[in-house]
Amino acid sequence: MNVTRKEQGTRLSMKTYTIAVIPGDGTGPEVIREGCRVLDAAAAQGKFHLEFQPYDLGAERYLRTTETLPPTVLKELTQVDAIYLGAIGHPSVKPGILEREILLRLRFELDQYINLRPVKLYPGVWTPLKDKTPEHIDFVVVRENTEGLYAGVGGFLRRGTPDETAIQTSVNTRHGVERCIRYAFEYTRRRNKHKKLTFCGKTNVLTYAHDLWQRTFDEVAKEYPDVTTDYTHVDACCMWMIKNPEWFDTIVTDNMFGDIITDLGAMIQGGMGIAAGGNLNPEGVSMFEPIGGSAPKYTGQQLINPLAAICAGAMMLEELGERQSAQAVEQAVCQVTSSKLKSLAAGKMGYSTSEVGDLVIEALA
Ligand code: IPM
Ligand code: MG
């Protein structure tokens, strides 16, 4: 009894963060389980407490109730310190429904206007790029996350007829573009690596949308004389990411291009098994996720790599202000990739999903 009270007392006096956990579909629950275990271990070391609140959003709930993101849940999610998401998407639900009504809706409703995606080759990890090592592949993509082609503006005319027309418009507001670019400059400065920010666009074709981006970029740049600026067309960016990834420090880009180049980024950093991202509202509630999707064919088999979810958890700690613990988790992941795993690919790690979680926890200790 006394011990319990004492424990309770310690817990009450500790800093506590409320984390909404959305394990989601497919392999989401398996990887999030390991993520939560690692985060708990990091919290114990860092002397803070994480209170995980589970939410059953995803295919199962949708198929059972036709609910995707009920208003009551959305309201609760605006009150938490952060959201930790596994994956959304299931073969038995028509593509687009869950993605748009859960994942994208959360990003929009919570105004998570930055999608931060580090592209970092960890030690010991195989990259398809010959002769490239961790010192060459270490940059961060700042993707605008609430506008562009994702805004859902458009429609059909004479749908289903031979005269059908479909229009999907890219929305670029000065406000949305500027806050993203500003964040990217601040981030580049804070990251303090090469202090170089590259705008990735298509100014030779998107002569309205990316003209606005370029002008905003140039204007904001004047406030950051310590940051070197650069520009690359998105197609060339794909080329340089393969040929000379070491040229990049921080890249800022729009929603659609950011989606595409970060899958390319994930491949050069060793695959979806390690690629993590944060959907940030720097003034509100942010959401962290492995970027690889639900990988339905591996569901429930303990084959999937939880490191991407664990790295997303580290990003969450960083954003919560628990910087030391974030770094500790990242270092533990480095130790595991460099000394333990045979591969990062599902089923080829040499360990099961939960064993990889164990390895990270051991390395943390
Ligand atoms: C991502 C995903 C999503 C996106 C999909 C699932 C809607 O590809 O997070 O990159 O396009 O943003
Ligand atoms: Mg994507």
Q: Which residue reads 């959907």 in tokens?
A: 279
Strands (E), 221-343: 228-233, 250-253, 276-280, 286-290
- The ligand that comes nearest to the alpha carbon of residue 279 is 1
User: Which stretch of 10-24, 117-131, 183-197, 248-262 has the lowest confidence by average pLDDT?
Assistant: 10-24
> Mean pLDDT for the chain?
96
Of 257, 261, 259, 253, nearest to 231 by C-alpha is 253
> For residue 128, what is the enclosing H or E element?
none
R_g of the chain, CA atoms, integer Å = 21
Predicted confidence (pLDDT) at residue 9 exceeds the cutoff of 70: no
Which residues touch 111 (CB under 8 Å, ≥6 apart)? 146, 281, 284
- Looking at 247, 268, 289, the residue that finishes a domain is 268
d(CA 115, ligand 2 centre) in Å:
11
Q: How many of the other CB atoms lie within 10 Å of CB of 322?
A: 23
> Which DSSP state fits 20?
E
- Atom of ligand 1 at shortest range from CA of 104: 7
Q: Are 92 and 57 in contact (CB under 8 A)?
A: no
Q: Are residues 65 and 107 in the same domain?
A: yes
β-strands 250-253, 286-290: how paired? unpaired
Q: Are residues 255 and 357 in the same domain?
A: no
Q: Are residues 170 and 201 in the same domain?
A: yes
pLDDT tens, position by position, 214-253: 999 999 999 999 999 999 999 999 999 999 999 999 999 9
- The ligand that comes nearest to the alpha carbon of residue 106 is 1
* CA-nearest residue, atom 4 of ligand 1: 259
The best mutation among 68, 112, 259 to test binding of ligand 1, ranked by most ligand atoms within 8 Å of the C-beta, falls on 259
Q: Are residues 106 and 146 in the same domain?
A: no
Work out the average pLDDT over 14-34.
97
- Position 122 in a domain: no
235 is catalytic: yes
β-strands 15-24, 48-54: how paired? parallel
- Atom of ligand 1 at shortest range from CA of 259: 10
pLDDT of residue 12: 64
Q: Are residues 352 and 283 in the same domain?
A: yes
* CA-nearest residue, atom 9 of ligand 1: 291
Q: Are residues 357 and 281 in the same domain?
A: yes
Q: Are residues 78 and 202 in the same domain?
A: no
pLDDT of residue 7: 60
Task: Write phi, then psi, for 308 (nearest 5 degrees).
Answer: -60, -45
d(CA 259, ligand 1 centre) in Å:
6
- Atom of ligand 1 at shortest range from CA of 277: 9
Q: Are residues 67 and 103 in the same domain?
A: yes
- Looking at 233, 268, 303, the residue that finishes a domain is 268
pLDDT of residue 13: 78
CA dist 363 and 353 (Å) reads: 16
% of the chain residues with pLDDT over 70: 97
Of 33, 123, 42, nearest to 304 by C-alpha is 33
| Catalytic residue of the set 56, 218, 230, 263 | 263
CA dist 300 and 30 (Å) reads: 7
Q: Are residues 91 and 59 in the same domain?
A: yes
Q: Which domain holds residue 185?
A: 128-268
- Looking at 246, 268, 290, the residue that finishes a domain is 268
Predicted confidence (pLDDT) at residue 1 exceeds the cutoff of 60: no
- Position 4 in a domain: no
| Catalytic residue of the set 15, 211, 235, 297 | 235
pLDDT tens, position by position, 78-104: 999 999 999 999 999 999 999 999 999
Q: Are residues 20 and 147 in the same domain?
A: no
pLDDT of residue 225: 98
pLDDT tens, position by position, 109-139: 999 999 999 999 999 999 999 999 999 999 9
Q: Distance from CA of residue 7 to its chain's centroid?
A: 35
259 is catalytic: yes
Q: Can you tell me whether residue 136 is helix, strand or coil?
A: coil
What letters, b where the CB count within 10 A reaches 16 and e where it falls short, cover 15-25? eebebbbbbbb
Q: Are residues 137 and 259 in the same domain?
A: yes
Specify which residues 253 forms β-bridges with. Answer: 143, 200
- The ligand that comes nearest to the alpha carbon of residue 88 is 1
Of 26, 151, 159, 154, nearest to 93 by C-alpha is 26
- Position 3 in a domain: no
pLDDT of residue 6: 58
| Catalytic residue of the set 17, 202, 249, 254 | 202
d(CA 156, ligand 1 centre) in Å:
23
Ligand 1 pocket by Cβ (under 6 Å): 99, 103-104, 259, 291
Strands (E), the chain: 15-24, 48-54, 82-87, 114-120, 138-144, 148-157, 165-171, 196-201, 228-233, 250-253, 276-280, 286-290
The best mutation among 93, 97, 99, 108 to test binding of ligand 1, ranked by most ligand atoms within 8 Å of the C-beta, falls on 99
- Position 6 in a domain: no
Predicted confidence (pLDDT) at residue 10 exceeds the cutoff of 80: no
Q: Can you tell me whether residue 230 is helix, strand or coil?
A: strand
pLDDT of residue 11: 62
d(CA 15, ligand 2 centre) in Å:
34
- Hey, what amino acid is at 188? T
- Atom of ligand 1 at shortest range from CA of 103: 7
Task: Write phi, then psi, for 292 (nearest 5 degrees).
Answer: -80, -10
202 is catalytic: yes
- CATH number of residue 190's parent domain: 3.40.718.10
- Atom of ligand 1 at shortest range from CA of 293: 6
Report the domain count for the chain: 2
- Position 142 in a domain: yes
